[in-house]
């Protein structure tokens, strides 16, 4: 069944425009409460990132849950993976995250975790949507839900992150720059690395409600790169606004993306007989990752773009490691969702344990030149339009078997993503522009 409100990662949009309005989110909280309370467990956690609209969304969600007779626990600004973790450990029936992840401050979203700390099953999302179409009824006054704030949420999550590497291991001697994207990790990320003994230089740690992801963090690592070089740091860690993405920078200022982090972990875990199968990437994963893993005798499969689909393939295969070029990395034997801090700690463990720099660890993978162009849309277009398919066919003919083309609509933004990958940087850039031009022309014709 098709979803009416939920996308690939909850409900998301521009604040003040449907569906990100107080009225809709109030009803969503109520509908979720009605469904989640059916199993007799009536406690839901609510966490958020640092965007200013989080105050409004938190209040109306709390009211909606209360109206359905469900208690809520408010976590305040917390990374998305922290909310997944705390949902499990506090034995809640669900966790709600108020975040638009890597999007600008004027967007926001609502996503849910199950009691197990995983994305909600399709049948639960569909049940919530069915409740949304019913009149809102408030339980009797004696049955209204109560709300309390969890005061030690940050400390609980910090200790969990530290527990994902060997207990005797420290980061003493490492100088790190940590870019928190002025987002949900601004308190906990620097603390995790500092408590493990690293010298931490923290940037992007002064959120004001409007500067989340603004020229900083995992989606804009240039500021981190400059800080690593100017401070002569060993490496840099960039997280995104809700803390589930990781991009790193080595001591030479070179970007280390999600594909390279996956390669580092897969190679080390294979050597130590800890991998537990192969690696799940996505359609966007660099061809160099696939070839490097093949050379190591590690299986590799591609899922659709989105950590939801990576998780599905991990579970289907019984594997534990997967992720995306953008930095969503899932270490399923350590946590239940993508976690930027936990992923960074696994890479840092290899730096310390192997006594190699991040720059040295990534050398076994050669990245193929890849150009990604985001074509912003005003409305929907059909990617099967002749002008687009002709452009794609022309590019694929020129690449032959020495590259790839991927064209897809974003699941979280009004964009068409055009990706071309091949052996020559200039050729790849020219061919990506060729397809992007065709998409823009099709959009103008459809307007």
Residue 315 structure tokens: 């579970």
Q: Where are the beta strands (DSSP E) in 320-366?
A: 321-323, 329-331
Separation between Cα atoms, residue 253 and residue 430, nearest integer Å? 26
Separation between Cα atoms, residue 174 and residue 327, nearest integer Å? 22
pLDDT value of residue 36: 84
**Is 101 an active-site residue?**
yes
The answer to whether domain 11-151 and domain 370-446 are alike in fold is no
Burial environment of residue 249 by CB neighbours within 10 A (0 to 12, 13 to 18, 19 or more): buried
pLDDT value of residue 38: 63
User: What is this structure's pTM?
Assistant: 0.90
Give the CA-trace dihedral at 30, 339, 313, 285, to 10 degrees: 120
Domain boundaries, the chain: 11-151, 157-364, 370-446
Q: Angle, nearest 10°, between helix axes 287-295 and 258-271?
A: 10
pLDDT value of residue 140: 94
Q: Which of 101, 202, 326, 343 is catalytic?
A: 101
Q: What's phi and psi for 112, nearest 5 deg?
A: -125, 150
* Correct CATH for 157-364 of 3.40.50.720, 3.40.120.10, 3.10.20.30, 3.40.228.10: 3.40.120.10
Q: What is the radius of gyration, based on Cα positions, of the chain?
A: 22
What CATH number does the domain located at 370-446 have?
Answer: 3.30.310.50
Per-residue pLDDT of the chain (447 residues; tens, 9 = 90+): 567 899 878 999 999 999 999 999 999 999 999 998 765 658 999 999 999 999 999 999 999 999 999 999 999 999 999 999 999 999 999 999 999 999 999 999 999 999 999 988 889 999 999 999 999 999 999 999 999 999 999 999 999 999 999 999 999 999 999 999 999 999 999 999 999 999 999 999 999 999 999 999 999 999 999 999 999 999 999 999 999 999 999 999 999 999 999 999 999 999 999 998 999 999 989 989 999 999 999 999 999 988 889 999 999 999 999 999 999 999 999 999 999 999 999 999 999 998 999 999 999 999 999 999 999 988 778 899 999 999 999 999 999 878 889 998 887 678 899 999 998 999 999 999 999 999 999 988 877
pLDDT value of residue 381: 85
Q: How many CA atoms lie within 13 A of 70 on its CB side?
A: 32
Q: How many CB atoms lie within 10 A of CB 194?
A: 16
Name the strand (E) or helix (H) holding 279: strand 279-282
Q: Angle, nearest 10°, between helix axes 340-354 and 80-89?
A: 100
* Correct CATH for 11-151 of 3.40.50.970, 3.40.120.10, 3.40.47.10, 3.40.50.720: 3.40.120.10
């Amino acid at each position: 069944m098709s979803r009416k409100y939920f996308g690939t990662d909850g409900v998301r949009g521009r604040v003040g425009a449907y569906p990100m309005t107080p009225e809709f989110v109030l009803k969503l909280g109520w509908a979720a409460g009605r469904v989640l309370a059916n199993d007799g467990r009536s406690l839901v956690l609510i966490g958020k990132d640092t965007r200013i609209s989080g105050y409004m969304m938190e209040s109306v969600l709390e009211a909606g849950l209360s109206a359905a007779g469900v208690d809520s626990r408010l976590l305040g600004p917390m990374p998305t993976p922290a909310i997944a973790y705390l949902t499990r450990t506090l034995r809640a029936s669900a966790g709600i995250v108020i975040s638009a992840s890597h999007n600008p401050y004027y967007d926001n979203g609502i996503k849910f975790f199950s009691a197990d700390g995983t994305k909600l099953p399709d049948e639960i999302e569909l049940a919530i949507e069915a409740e949304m179409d019913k009149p809102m009824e408030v339980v009797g006054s004696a049955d209204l839900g109560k709300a309390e704030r969890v005061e030690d949420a940050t400390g609980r999550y910090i200790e969990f992150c530290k527990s994902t590497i060997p207990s005797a291991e420290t980061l003493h001697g490492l100088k790190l720059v940590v870019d928190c994207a002025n987002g949900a990790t601004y308190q906990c990320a620097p603390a995790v690395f500092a408590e493990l003994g690293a010298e931490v230089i923290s940037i992007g740690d002064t959120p004001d409600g409007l500067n989340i992801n603004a020229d900083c963090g995992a989606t804009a690592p240039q500021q981190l790169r400059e800080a690593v070089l100017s401070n002569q740091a060993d490496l840099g860690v960039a997280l995104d606004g809700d803390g589930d993405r990781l991009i790193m920078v080595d001591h030479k200022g070179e970007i280390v993306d999600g594909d390279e982090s996956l390669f580092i972990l897969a190679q080390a875990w294979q050597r130590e007989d800890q991998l537990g199968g192969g690696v799940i990437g996505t359609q966007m994963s660099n061809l160099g990752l696939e070839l490097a893993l093949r050379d190591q005798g590690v299986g590799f499969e591609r899922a659709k773009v989105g950590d939801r689909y990576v998780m599905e393939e991990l579970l289907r295969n019984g594997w534990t490691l997967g992720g995306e070029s953008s930095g969503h990395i899932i270490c399923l034997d350590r946590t239940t969702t993508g976690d930027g801090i936990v992923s960074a700690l696994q890479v840092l463990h290899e730096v310390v344990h192997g006594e190699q720099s991040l720059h040295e660890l990534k050398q076994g993978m050669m990245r193929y030149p890849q150009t990604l162009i985001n074509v912003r849309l005003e409305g929907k277009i059909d990617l099967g339009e002749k002008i687009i398919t002709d452009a794609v066919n022309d590019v694929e003919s020129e690449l032959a078997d020495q590259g790839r083309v991927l064209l897809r609509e974003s699941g979280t933004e009004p964009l068409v993503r055009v990706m071309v990958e091949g052996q020559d940087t200039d050729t790849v850039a020219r061919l990506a522009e060729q397809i992007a031009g065709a998409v823009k022309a099709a959009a103008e014709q459809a307007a």
